[in-house]
Structures are given as C-alpha cells and as structure tokens.
Structure 1
Amino acid sequence: MGATQHYRVRMAQEDETPVAETTPAQHIDAMIAAHPDWRGALLADARTAILAVDPAIEETWKWRGAPVWELEGILVVGNVFQQAVKLGFMYGASLADPDGLFNDELGGNQRRAIKYSAGGTFDAPALQALVRRAIDHNHARRAASRRR
C-alpha cells in the first residue's frame, strides 16, 4: 500500500455520483483534528516521530479507522480511545524494549503495545528506537522468506 493510495469515501447522497478521494494521510489528519485534546496531540507527536525514523515508512489507513505505519510490513498501528492512545507493534514480542515502553498486550506471543494515558510521558527517541527495531525485524522476516 503506497502513501499516495486513495480510498473512495461515499458522501451522504444515495445517487452514487459524488465520491471524494481521501488519502491515508488525510484520514490521519482528520483523526488528529477530531481529538483536540491531549490524545490528538500525542498521536500527532507519535506520527511525527515514527515518520522521522525512515523516509520509506508509508502511512496507510486500515481496519475501519486505524492509522498504520508500514515498511516491508506493518510496523505500528495507532488507536485513539476515550482514555488512552495506543500504539500497537505487530511483532512487538520479538523486539527488544530496553526503555520499557511496552505496557499493554503483554500476554501474547506476537503483538505488544504502548498505551498512553493523560498526563503520561512521551519519549520520542525511545519510540523511534523501537520503530527502528521493528524495521530491522521486518527486513529480517522478508529476507528469510526470500531464502525459502
């Protein structure tokens, strides 16, 4: 999925004529704007930090309303909840977390998440280090699948 991929979004009319083209980045912008409190600000900061790690990271929009950042596979899925913002790492269980960011979804053998609450701290460098490890993990998975 490319960063420039467009999604067709139906307008309120039933006659099938007006259709707006919306990019994943526009969906994420709208999600941030729809949460003008700390949640939108934190998601915006996380987005900036994630995208700064590697210019090849692509923003996508999946699962009926989730921003997703990908590079050779899914890296991070963002979600905004009433009392939290969650950044889920698809293969988080395989990533070293020396900064102790993972604090949610700890019981599974694949995913891990960082759950932020109001007043919590956001450590951009630690998040970026985790994203780098996720990129390395995706590269290794892709290389291993090519060797088979």
Structure 2
Amino acid sequence: MSADWRADTVEKIRSLIVAAEPAAVEEAKWKKASNPAGVPTFSADGLICTVETYKDKVKATFAKGASLEDPTGVFNASLDAGTRRAVDLREGDVLDDDAFVALVREAVALNRA
C-alpha cells in the first residue's frame, strides 16, 4: 500500500462514482478546523453518498442505502440505520468495483424516481 492508502481509496471511490454516473456532482461540505477540506459529497438529483476519511478507514455512506438492493453484501456498516448504509474500507480491503458501481447507479435511479 502507498504511504497514504486513504487518499488512494478516496480517489478510487470517486472514479467509480463518476464511472457509474458521469453527471454526478461533487461538493465539499461540512468544513471545520479538524477537516478544512470538508467531506466529499456526491449528488445526482439528490444526495448519493458522502466519503469520509478516518484514521483507520474510509467510509462511503449512502444517503438512502437502506432502500438499495445489495445482493453481494458491499454494505458492511450502519446496517441497523433506518435510512443510511455504509461501506467501511480499511487498509488492504478490496472493494467489489462492479457491485459498488451498481449501488451508485441504483441510488441515482432512486433519486430520479
């Protein structure tokens, strides 16, 4: 892994979101002293997901994740949340790119429904 695997992971997630939905808009929200760059948020006719970086993981939280089909079990966090679902990626974890892209596409379709 690279010196900052988290930055690489965020870039990979960003590229998968754009591949899934080229019209997705990225904005940095919730800027604060401890996170001056803010939290990357991705939207297309509504919020798709946020991507937060922590010391030990990168978390992609889908705003309406509980309403999405996840047949391959990509979601591994916030599983008891009423609306959201998240994917936590730690150093060395392998993301199922195709399944993640499918989740993004489904989230966008739900936003547009």
Relative to the length of structure 1, the TM-score reads: 0.69
Relative to the length of structure 2, the TM-score reads: 0.89
The structure, 1 or 2, with the larger RCO (C-alpha pairs under 8 Å, 6+ apart) is 2
Q: Structure 2: which 5+ runs fail to align?
A: 32-37
Query: Could you tell me how far 1:54 is from its partner in structure 2?
Result: 1.9
Rounded to whole Å, the distance in 1 between the matches of 2:99 and 2:3 is 25
- Structure richer in helix, relative to its length: 1
Q: Structure 1: which 5+ runs fail to align?
A: 1-34, 141-148
What percentage of aligned pairs have identical amino acids? 38
| Residues 66 and 85 in structure 2, CA contact (< 8 A), matched pair in contact too | yes
Rounded to whole Å, the distance in 2 between the matches of 1:36 and 1:129 is 30
| Residues 44 and 108 in structure 2, CA contact (< 8 A), matched pair in contact too | yes
2:49 is the counterpart of 1:82 = no
Write out the 4+ residue segments of structure 1 that deviate beyond 3 Å after TM superposition: none
2:43 is the counterpart of 1:41 = no
Larger radius of gyration: 1
Q: CA RMSD in A?
A: 1.3
How many positions carry a matched residue from both structures? 106
Match of 2:22 in 1: 55
Rounded to whole Å, the distance in 2 between the matches of 1:122 and 1:93 is 19
